[in-house]
């Protein structure tokens, strides 16, 4: 750990040296594209170092949010991923003001039609259906498309006896789609139930943040529930609870570690070990390892 | 009537609650307590009784009629043990082939430290998951407020009915206003935007039956409102109870399966 601490000091010094004059003279903010500030511990380091550490804060071990592309790259075997339902896109069921514009903008920014990407892949040779939620897309809230994609992914897996690995991240149900978004909680949970009744294995990986209607549906229903270190997991928002009880909550409230202590997480797995943990789970459930990498 | 006006009726302190409805609708009702893990949550009342001549399981959210009752039932905001009690009684109903009647009336699941520690998210998720395949008819009626996941946990059902003025929403209009405009006083605008009335929900295929209320709202003639609920329930139980169980469960899955609006 000493070397990381040293590295951190070097980085910090570099940051101080580089930014101070600028900050003094112009009052500029931390350049987002060069530096990363950890939202948990406030640690600041060069983005380059942070990316090299798989977007994990070296000081507090917070596992920062990834884009779906980054997660895919870190998780699946090269060339093995075949996407499902990429063309599925949102409508505006309750005529919510400016909803279409917002979605259109996010599509461009995130390179996907919606807040989840689903498909089939292998992880270290083990075939599975995978879902990756991307919090950069409207906080990965669940509307019709997210619900439908998850349901279809589970139905596909059920028909073929495949396991499902779901990387969850969400602010909850998407209020811009009104009651229809709430119904996606029931729909996805029903699809998980059918997959389970057919003997299917479902592994959830809770990533930052997994909350609200997603925590209260498919994210909490894995046969095995993994979580990344230090991520936020909970039903109600922190501020909502603080407003209700009129006191400040401890910092570790609703962390992955808190949830494990309360009995809702099987294992906390760091990012660098996730592929190994997932493939080991698949192996232990008797799934065969495929040697040939499918294109 | 606008959603906002209906919200006024739903929050009317004289609006009948399950304390009025249960004695008027069911006979020989007995209340059962506890989730067998942690405790008993007074926000959800459960028990068995007769609906006409059919024994049924009743699971209902307890709005208080005064401050004292509301303190006891936590303003009808259940904790995880409430949802787990509901699930225990629902499984018992399945075992003894009793139809399940859920009466929904909650601002939402409780948001607090203890609720989080005991797994509010997990408790709700588990109910959605298990209710989906229970091999017995499930009928849910929204009496007043259907507040988000806290209501849905008692509303995975074969038929969802709503009282004419009842509301059912993914988020409270106040909560939506504070997120959308950082101003919870714009509750009224959010109320209309969210499309939360029984009529709206019928259009979306969420609500299957609107139960008419007495003129001006249920508080004007609680007995008449109870009669309308009774009539609907007797009819629904008779219809659903004769269905083949496998078909019933398949239809329930399809009812939720088809809800969604997207293009491809």
Contact A234 B121 (CB under 8 A): yes
pLDDT value, residue A251 = 85
Contact A235 B111 (CB under 8 A): yes
Between A93, A180, A244, which is nearest B111 by CB? A244
* Angle, CA of B12, B16 and B17, to the nearest 5°: 110
Please state, as a whole number, how many other Cβ atoms lie within 10 Å of the Cβ of residue A238.
17
Q: A183: closest CA among B172, B249, B206, B123?
A: B206
| Location of structure tokens 């083990």 | A126
Between B125, B132, B260, which is nearest A184 by CB? B260
Between A91, A212, A215, which is nearest B261 by CB? A91
Q: Which domains are seen in chain B, by residue range?
A: 3-253 (3.90.226.10)
β partners of residue A211: A234
Say yes or no: ipTM exceeds 0.95: yes
| Location of structure tokens 């039609």 | A113
Q: Quick check: B215 pLDDT over 50?
A: yes
Q: Tell me whether B221 touches chain A (CB under 8 Å).
A: no
Contact A145 B262 (CB under 8 A): yes
Between A177, A189, A253, which is nearest B128 by CB? A189
Mean pLDDT calculated for residue range A206-218: 98
Percent of chain B with pLDDT over 90: 95
Q: Quick check: A23 pLDDT over 80?
A: no
Contact B120 A216 (CB under 8 A): yes
Contact A183 B126 (CB under 8 A): no
Minimal CA separation from B153 to chain A, in Å: 9
Cα–Cα distance, B130 to B78 (Å, whole number): 18
Minimal CA separation from A23 to chain B, in Å: 31
Tell me which of A225-234, B81-90, B169-178 is least confident.
Answer: B169-178
Find out whether B169 and B148 touch, Cβ atoms under 8 Å: yes
- Which chain A residues are Cβ-neighbours of B250 within 8 angstroms? none
Which secondary structure element, helix H or strand E, spans residue B117, and what is its range? helix B113-117
Q: Tell me whether B7 touches chain A (CB under 8 Å).
A: no
Q: Chain B residue with minimal CA distance to A242?
A: B112
Between A89, A179, A197, which is nearest B169 by CB? A179
Q: Chain A residue with minimal CA distance to B176?
A: A175
| Location of structure tokens 């071990």 | A61
Cα–Cα distance, B11 to B143 (Å, whole number): 11
Q: At what angle do helices B120-131 and B80-95 cross, to 10 degrees?
A: 20
Q: Quick check: A31 pLDDT over 90?
A: no
Percent of chain A with pLDDT over 90: 79
Q: What is the mean pLDDT of chain A?
A: 90
pLDDT value, residue A125 = 97
- Which chain B residues are Cβ-neighbours of A190 within 8 angstroms? 128-129, 132-133, 156, 253, 256-257
Contact B176 A183 (CB under 8 A): no
β partners of residue A116: A133
Minimal CA separation from B193 to chain A, in Å: 7
- Binned at pLDDT 50, 70 and 90, residue B184 comes out as confident
Minimal CA separation from B111 to chain A, in Å: 6
Minimal CA separation from A43 to chain B, in Å: 28
Which secondary structure element, helix H or strand E, spans residue B160, and what is its range? strand B159-163
Burial class (CB in 10 A: 0-12, 13-18, 19+), B38: middle
Find out whether A116 and A148 touch, Cβ atoms under 8 Å: no
- Which chain B residues are Cβ-neighbours of A246 within 8 angstroms? none
A126-180 pLDDT tens trace = 999 999 999 999 999 999 999 999 999 999 999 999 999 999 999 999 999 999 9
Q: Quick check: B13 pLDDT over 80?
A: yes
Contact A218 B125 (CB under 8 A): yes
In B157-176, the residues whose Cβ lies within 8 Å of chain A are 168-171, 175-176
pLDDT value, residue A292 = 61
pLDDT value, residue A33 = 77
In B122-151, the residues whose Cβ lies within 8 Å of chain A are 122, 124-126, 128-130, 132-133, 148-149
pTM of the complete model: 0.93
Half-sphere exposure of A28 (CA within 13 A, CB side): 11
Q: Which domains are seen in chain A, by residue range?
A: 1-62 (no CATH), 63-284 (3.90.226.10)
Mean pLDDT calculated for residue range A270-290: 97
pLDDT value, residue A168 = 98
Q: Quick check: A227 pLDDT over 50?
A: yes
Q: Chain A residue with minimal CA distance to B198?
A: A179
Contact A91 B119 (CB under 8 A): no
pLDDT value, residue A247 = 84
Cα–Cα distance, A117 to A110 (Å, whole number): 11
Minimal CA separation from B23 to chain A, in Å: 31
Cα–Cα distance, A182 to B168 (Å, whole number): 10
Q: Which of A235, A255, A261, A263 to mutate to test the interface with B (most CBs of B within 10 A)?
A: A235
Cα–Cα distance, B43 to B137 (Å, whole number): 23
Contact A236 B128 (CB under 8 A): no
- Binned at pLDDT 50, 70 and 90, residue A10 comes out as very low
Minimal CA separation from B83 to chain A, in Å: 12
Minimal CA separation from B32 to chain A, in Å: 26
Please state, as a whole number, how many other Cβ atoms lie within 10 Å of the Cβ of residue B89.
22
Q: Which of A147, A166, A189, A240 to mutate to test the interface with B (most CBs of B within 10 A)?
A: A189
Contact A178 B170 (CB under 8 A): yes
Cα–Cα distance, A202 to A218 (Å, whole number): 10
């Amino acid at each position: 750990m000493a070397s990381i601490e040293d590295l951190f000091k070097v980085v910090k010094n570099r940051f101080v040296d580089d930014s101070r004059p600028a900050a003094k003279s112009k009052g500029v903010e931390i350049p987002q594209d060069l530096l990363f500030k950890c939202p948990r511990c406030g640690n600041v380091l060069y983005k380059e170092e942070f990316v090299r550490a798989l977007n994990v804060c070296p000081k507090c071990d917070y596992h920062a949010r990834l884009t779906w592309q980054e997660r895919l790259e870190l998780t699946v075997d090269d060339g093995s991923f075949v996407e499902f339902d990429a063309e599925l896109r949102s409508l505006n069921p309750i005529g919510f003001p400016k909803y279409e514009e917002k979605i259109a903008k996010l599509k461009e920014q995130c390179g996907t039609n919606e807040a989840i990407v689903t498909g089939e892949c292998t992880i270290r040779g083990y075939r599975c259906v995978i879902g990756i939620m991307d919090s950069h897309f409207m906080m990965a809230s669940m509307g019709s498309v997210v619900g439908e994609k998850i349901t279809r992914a589970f139905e596909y897996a059920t028909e073929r006896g495949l396991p499902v690995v779901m990387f969850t991240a969400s602010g909850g149900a998407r209020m811009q789609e009104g009651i229809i978004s709430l119904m996606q909680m029931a729909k996805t949970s029903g699809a998980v139930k059918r997959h389970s009744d057919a003997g299917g294995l479902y592994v959830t990986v809770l990533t930052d943040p997994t909350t609200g209607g997603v925590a209260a549906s498919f994210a909490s229903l894995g046969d095995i529930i993994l979580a990344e270190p230090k991520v936020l997991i909970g039903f109600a928002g922190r501020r909502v609870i603080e407003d209700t009880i009129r006191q400040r909550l401890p910092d570790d409230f609703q962390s992955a570690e808190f949830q494990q202590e309360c009995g809702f997480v099987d294992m906390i797995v760091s990012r660098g070990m996730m592929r190994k943990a997932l493939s080991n789970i698949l192996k232990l459930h008797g799934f065969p390892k495929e040697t040939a990498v499918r294109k | 009537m606008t959603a906002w006006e209906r919200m006024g009726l739903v929050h009317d302190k004289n609006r009948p609650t399950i304390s009025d409805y249960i004695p008027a609708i069911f006979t020989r009702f007995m209340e059962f307590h506890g989730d067998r893990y942690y405790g008993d949550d007074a926000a959800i009342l459960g028990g068995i009784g007769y609906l006409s001549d059919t024994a049924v399981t009743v699971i209902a959210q307890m709005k208080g009629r005064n401050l004292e009752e509301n303190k006891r039932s936590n303003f009808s905001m259940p904790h995880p043990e409430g949802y787990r009690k509901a699930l225990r009684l629902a499984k018992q109903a399945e075992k003894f082939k009793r139809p399940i009647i859920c009466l929904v009336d909650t601002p939402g699941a409780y948001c607090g430290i203890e609720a989080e520690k005991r797994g509010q998210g997990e408790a709700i998720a588990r109910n959605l998951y298990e209710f989906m395949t229970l091999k017995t008819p499930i009928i849910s009626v929204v009496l007043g407020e259907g507040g988000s996941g806290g209501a849905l946990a008692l509303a995975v059902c074969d038929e969802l009915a709503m009282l004419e003025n009842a509301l059912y929403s993914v988020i409270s209009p106040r909560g939506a206003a504070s997120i959308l405009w950082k101003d919870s006083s714009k509750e009224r605008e959010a109320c209309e935007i969210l499309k939360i009335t029984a009529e709206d929900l019928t259009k979306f295929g969420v609500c299957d039956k609107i139960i008419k209320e007495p003129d001006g709202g249920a508080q004007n003639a609680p007995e008449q409102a109870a009669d309308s609920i009774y009539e609907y329930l007797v009819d629904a139980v008779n219809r659903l109870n004769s269905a083949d169980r496998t078909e019933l469960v398949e239809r329930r899955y399809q009812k939720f399966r088809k809800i969604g609006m997207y293009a491809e």
